[in-house]
Structure 1
Amino acid sequence: MRRATGYPRGMPNVVAGRQVSPRKGKEDDMTDMRASDLPAEAGFGDYVALLKPRVMSLVVFTALVGLLSAPVAVHPMVALAGILFIALGAGASGALNMWWDADIDALMRRTRNRPVPAGRVAPREALAIGLALSGIAVVMLGLAANLLAAGLLAFTIFFYAVIYSMWLKRATPQNIVIGGAAGAFPPMIGWAVATGGVSVESLFMFALIFMWTPPHFWSLALFTKSDYADAGVPMLTVTHGRRVTRAHVLAYTLALAPLAVAGAVTGIGGPLYLAVSVALNLWFVAGAVRIWRRTEAQAEADGYRAEKRLFRFSLYYLFLHFAAILAEAALKPHGMGGW
């Protein structure tokens, strides 16, 4: 286990992008530094970035859909508190992940300007924020909603911070497959806030995100391979190559499509969801087939245009599926949603 103080084990002494030699004393380092070399003081935006707001927004949206699509009425204050504490839990997970991954984040172009590797937020500070927010989020969700929702949130934070970040991410090319469970729990938590239980519908929403995660992240990895290789992260593109990764994207997309469409016959589905899901999955499968057929020479020639297009579409794919679930729930009181 890494120490709670200083930079995580294995991370170079980096200050504002400049590597500081460990052989020099503190006075020597300060003498050698120009004013421009000193790390900038953390601002409010750095602490917001520490919580991974983009990831948090997806968590909040899917949790909200899980809550609002449940077949029970929820008091507005309970719903508001539930979503707030789920969001805090997501932010806590992000802070803990940034603390632990600071060493590899510093080596990847996509992540090296994050607050911790850039030196604007100290690792021990990120750890403290992550632990504090975790405790607040779990305890307050239990008080505001119920113990099942709080337990699911606690397990989600643990899974993302420990199982995925500390173990799977650096241990196996299946890191994204298994680790995808962390991002799949929020709609289950939202459903549990409303109902106090787990159902076929909440399990379906979990499965939808779980199966979507591998093709989503592997399509990203196809055009960011050097980042993962430089950081020593065993992403599938690094361990097995892009050709195998393309085949895996197609295989998981083909498995995802019937699962996603089958959601139409659950209690949260309906004609609108069916139409949206069929259209989205036809496009997604076509895109996966397209990148599977491409050679590396073709991909390099056009700057991985098809791979980038599939990655961008995968974001809309998940959002629109959950938006369709939400629309079905909104139509039901008017006798138009569901079957």
Structure 2
Amino acid sequence: MTDATIVLDDNHEAGFGDYFALLKPRVMSLVVFTAFAGLIVAPGGIHPFLGFFAILCIAIGGGASGALNMWYDSDIDMVMKRTKSRPIPSGKVTRGEALGFGLTLSAFSVVMLYLATNWVAAALLAFTIFFYAVVYTMWLKRATPQNIVIGGASGALPPMIGWAAVTGDITLSSVLMFMLIFMWTPPHFWSLALFMNADYDKAKVPMLTVTHGKRSTRNHILVYTILLAGFAAAMFATPLAGWSYLVVAVVMNAAFLRGAVVLWRRNEEEAEADNYKAERAFFKLSLAYTFLHFMALMADKALFAYGIGGPF
């Protein structure tokens, strides 16, 4: 981490909203949703109260990761347009407060998840926090253009944690849910980087667009989108996928592949001329991609329970 000067707002006393912002609520929403999906589709069942508490612990753990990320990345956040209003660079919360907040929530979430469910779920949550805060934030993000690829593991673990909270194990089904998010993460973030490249360049973050250029990034997006479609199809080898998943997987992967091909064919002059319209559309499509796939898995679980359809 490089030194950075943060001017504290002497007239502002940090409130609930400032600390909540440290938790990266937008990112946390994806964590909560995919963890909930993993918990719902897991075989067997869990008491509703324990299920709710498990999701709460996972959410707190995900938020703790965000707070630790903001603590370490405050220097980067100060110079990036989309992050300079965060609590630390805006002077609303000190780095020390963010660090203490993140560590406290980390310990609380892991211990409470262990007491409420089992050691497998707690260990996966602890590993998720460690991987995001240490492996990704402190090392990969500033060291390699593969930061998003490898670092994406932390964001892909929540459905495995939700699954383990119910079953206490790790299976092919939970691993494939992990892979669905893991392979989705690079094209999702690289499409964002195509039209936000100036921010990453200014902050000296070695995003692929900065180190290898946008042509290489477009090639990578296409390759990872093809691989992603393969893992989405592999879900049919598990007892989770039914007709709802079939419809979503076919439609969404066809649309995602088409969008990746469109990006691959574009040159930078064309992209700049229309203000990266296709890249922005692909990014928005990527937001719906994971949501719809996991919604379909939960829908199939409900249909199976009523004797409608069944695994392929």
When normalised by structure 2's length, the TM-score is 0.97
Match of 2:19 in 1: 47
Aligned to 2:5: 13
Contact 2:195–2:279, Cα closer than 8 Å, also in 1: yes
- Displacement, 1:42? 2.1
| Selected match of 1:210 from 178, 182, 197 | 182
Task: Name which of 295, 312, 327 aligns with 2:267.
Answer: 295
Aligned partner of 1:309 among 266, 276, 281:
281
Paired letter, 1:99: W
Show structure 2 runs of 5+ residues with no match.
none
Q: Which has the higher helix share?
A: 2
Distance 2:197 2:190 in 1: 10
CA–CA separation in structure 2 for the residues paired with 1:193 and 1:136: 16
The amino acid that maps onto 1:225 is N
- Give the aligned partner of residue 139 of structure 1: 111
Q: Which amino acid aligns with 1:12?
A: A
- 1:26 maps to none
> 1:117-159: CA deviations, max 9, x gaps?
1111000000000000000000000000001100000000000
**Larger Rg: 1 or 2?**
1
Q: Is 1:336–2:312 an aligned residue pair?
A: no
1:123-202 matches, within 5 Å, as 123-202=95-174
CA apart distance, 1:14: 2.7
Equivalent residue for 1:96, pick from 60, 68, 73: 68
Q: Is the 8 A contact 1:15 1:39 kept in 2?
A: no
Letter in 1 for 2:286: S
SS in 1 for 2:79: coil
Residues paired across the two proteins, number: 311
Aligned to 2:92: 120
Contact 2:18 2:87 in 1 (8 A): yes
Q: TM-score, normalised by structure 1?
A: 0.90
- Which of 190, 198, 210 is 1:238 aligned to? 210
Q: Give the distance between the partners of 1:337 and 1:127, measured in 2 at CA.
A: 49
Give me the whole-angstrom Cα distance separating, in 2, the residues matched to 1:239 and 1:301: 23
Over 3 Å counting, the alpha-carbon distance change for 1:173 and 1:39 in structure 2 is farther
CA distance in 2, matches of 1:274, 1:13: 52
**Cα shift at 1:38:** 4.9
Distance 2:25 2:192 in 1: 19
Please give the alpha-carbon distance, in whole angstroms, between the structure 1 residues aligned to 2:165 and 2:138.
Answer: 29
Equivalent pairs: percent with the same residue? 61
Q: Counterparts of 1:282 and 1:11 in 2: how far apart (Å)?
A: 46
Deviation digits for residues 201-233 of structure 1 (CA, Å, limit 9, x no counterpart)? 100000000000000000000000010010110
CA distance, structure 1, for counterparts of residue 19 and residue 141 of structure 2: 24
Return the offset for 1:271.
Answer: 1.7
Contact 1:225 1:237 in 2 (8 A): yes
- What SS does the corresponding residue of 2:195 show, helix, strand or coil? coil
Unpaired segments ≥5 residues, structure 1: 1-8, 17-36
- Partner of 1:208, secondary structure, is helix
SS of 1:15's partner is: coil
Cα deviation for residue 266 of structure 1 reads 1.2
Match of residue 78, structure 1, among 50, 57, 62: 50
How far apart, in 2, do the equivalents of 1:128 and 1:330 lie? 41
Structure 1 Cα separation of the partners of residues 47 and 293 of structure 2? 25
Give the aligned partner of residue 264 of structure 1: 236
* Shift in Å, 1:264: 2.6
Can you list the C-alpha shifts for 1:223-278, whole angstroms capped at 9, x where unaligned?
00010010110000000000100010011001111211221331110122011101
Aligned letter for 1:15? V
Residue-by-residue CA offset, 1:66-112 (whole Å, 9 max, x unaligned)? 00101101111110110010001001000000000000110100111
Q: Does the Cα contact within 8 Å between 2:176 and 2:234 map onto a contact in 1?
A: no
Taking the aligned partners of 1:337 and 1:149, their CA distance within structure 2 comes to: 30
Q: CA RMSD in A?
A: 1.1
SS at match of 1:134: helix
